[in-house]
Amino acid sequence: MSNLTFGIIKPDAVAKGHTGKIIDRILSNGFKIRGMKLIHQTKKNAEGFYAVHAERPFFGELTEFMSSGPCVVLALEKEGAVKAWRDLMGATNPAEAAEGTLRKDFAGSIGENAVHGSDSDENAAIEIAYFFSKLELV
């Protein structure tokens, strides 16, 4: 099991001014931030990132949203990081997200749901490499 995962504070949460609160929750839950930057993705970049979802009906909406404004990309370290970060994020649909999770507290809808997290160690490594150069990882 790897100790790294990849996260995004999505454009909805950044636009609503929740970035600082989410970073505080990340740190107080024992994650170390190994990489972090504010970026504004192009649609093409978002399409590449979410290529696995290309056949899903919400792909256009999702990539429009992810390129609609700035987001914060994160490389996070903790033991069992992939599961720990998904547990802190909560369910994809905020209506189903448990109390105390980021999506319960900050997400507005199943599409605009405040945060992203990798779903496996393998994808965490791919996603970190998609956004960060070696120099940007400490």
State the catalytic residues: 116
Among 110, 123, 136, 137, binds ligand ADP (CB under 6 A): 110
Part of the chain binding ligand ADP (CB under 6 A), chosen from 35-43, 58-66, 72-80, 123-131: 58-66
The helix-helix angle for 81-89 and 121-131 (nearest 10°) equals: 80
| Residue with smaller CB distance to Mg ion, 105 or 119 | 119
* Distance, CA of 4 to CA of 136 (rounded, Å): 15
- Rounded CA-CA distance 48/31 in Å is 27
Of 26, 62, 72, 97, which lies in the binding site for ligand ADP, with binding defined by CB under 6 A?
62
The answer to whether 78 contacts ligand ADP (rule: CB under 6 A) is no
Taking alpha carbons only, the member of 121, 39, 27 closest to residue 72 is 39
Q: Are 8 and 73 in contact (CB under 8 A)?
A: yes
Q: Which stretch binds Mg ion (CB under 5 A): 5-13, 15-23, 34-42, 117-125?
A: 117-125
Would you say 28 and 129 are in contact if contact means Cβ atoms under 8 Å apart? no
Contact window for Mg ion (CB under 5 A) among 7-15, 33-41, 58-66, 114-122: 114-122
Q: Residues interacting with ligand ADP, by CB under 6 A?
A: 53, 58, 61-62, 92, 110-111, 113, 116, 119
